[in-house]
């Protein structure tokens, strides 16, 4: 029943323009309103970097400008639970975020894996240490993606499916961070920027494979962010911010609304 309802929603989204022209848009709204949606994951889902944080979320820094809230505001699902949390790893999702999931859940979104792979330490190493040390740290992260991350992802994906057996699960990836040969005149070397971009692609490929193996939909955000990376003329990502280090290398509000939200919509 739930799968059928979500399939109907997907069809109605594809036909949205026709429905609006024929006055049948109410049918699409009714399908969307019948959905129970749960948003899981790390800081890229909680909205770190976009501001407007819900004080009740504390260190999780859930933003009213994060893509799950933007989708909720535009579609008015019948229920919405937002448990994504800054700094979350796969084990944090399984331990702390799955409470709202149930057999009634229709839609789940999640970003996870970057913190497991040591993203924050990679960026700190690359900003503060030599090019050789940076690239070595990137290679260590890629080795972790090969050896350990797949099992961690399997654990969290299995837990999601167990608690929400009928849900359509959308796993979103991470952007490339730098526009190579861009406008940056200081900071990391081009070799470092290229290595970091390559590591992001490597992580996304691993996440996409595990998502597909579990029957989940992977949504790449790389196309949406292309032209809006750091060192572009219109970046949707914060560069290093010494005054607010936690927001460094996270999407801005424009990155959430122009990058993550359309990518999520495209996976429905």
Please list the active-site residues.
43, 250
Annotate 39-104 with DSSP letters as a single string. Answer: EEESHHHHTTTS--B-GGGGGG--BTTSHHHHHHHHH--SEEEE---TT--HHHIIIII-TT--TT
| C-alpha to C-alpha distance for 189 and 109, rounded to whole angstroms | 35
- Cβ neighbors of 96 (< 8 A, separation 6 or more) are 83, 85, 88
Smallest CA-to-CA distance from 66 within 35, 43, 37, 34 is with 43
Three-class secondary structure of residue 158 per DSSP: helix
Tell me which DSSP letter residue 267 carries: T
């Amino acid at each position: 029943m739930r799968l059928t309802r979500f399939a109907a929603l997907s069809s109605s989204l594809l036909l949205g323009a026709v429905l609006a022209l024929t006055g049948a848009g109410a049918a699409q709204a009714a399908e969307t309103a019948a959905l129970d949606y749960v948003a899981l994951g790390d800081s890229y889902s909680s909205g770190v970097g976009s501001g407007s944080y819900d004080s009740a979320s504390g260190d999780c820094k859930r933003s009213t400008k994060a893509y799950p809230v933007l989708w909720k505001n535009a579609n008015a699902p019948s229920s919405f639970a937002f448990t994504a949390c800054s700094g979350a790893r796969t084990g944090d999702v399984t331990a702390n975020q799955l409470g709202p999931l149930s057999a009634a859940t229709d839609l789940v979104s999640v970003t996870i894996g970057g913190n497991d792979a040591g993203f924050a330490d990679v960026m700190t190493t690359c900003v503060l240490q030599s090019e050789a040390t940076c690239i070595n740290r990137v290679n260590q992260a890629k080795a972790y993606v090969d050896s350990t991350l797949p099992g961690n992802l399997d654990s969290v994906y299995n837990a999601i499916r167990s608690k929400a057996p009928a849900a359509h699960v959308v796993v979103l990836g991470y952007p490339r961070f730098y526009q190579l040969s861009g406008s940056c005149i200081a900071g990391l070397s081009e070799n470092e920027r290229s290595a970091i971009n390559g590591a992001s692609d490597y992580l996304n490929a691993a996440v996409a494979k595990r998502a597909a193996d579990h029957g989940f939909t992977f949504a790449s955000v790389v196309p949406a962010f292309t032209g809006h990376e750091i060192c572009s003329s219109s970046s949707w990502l914060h560069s290093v911010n010494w005054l607010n280090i936690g927001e460094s290398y996270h999407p801005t509000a424009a990155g959430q609304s122009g990058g993550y939200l359309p990518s999520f919509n495209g996976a429905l």
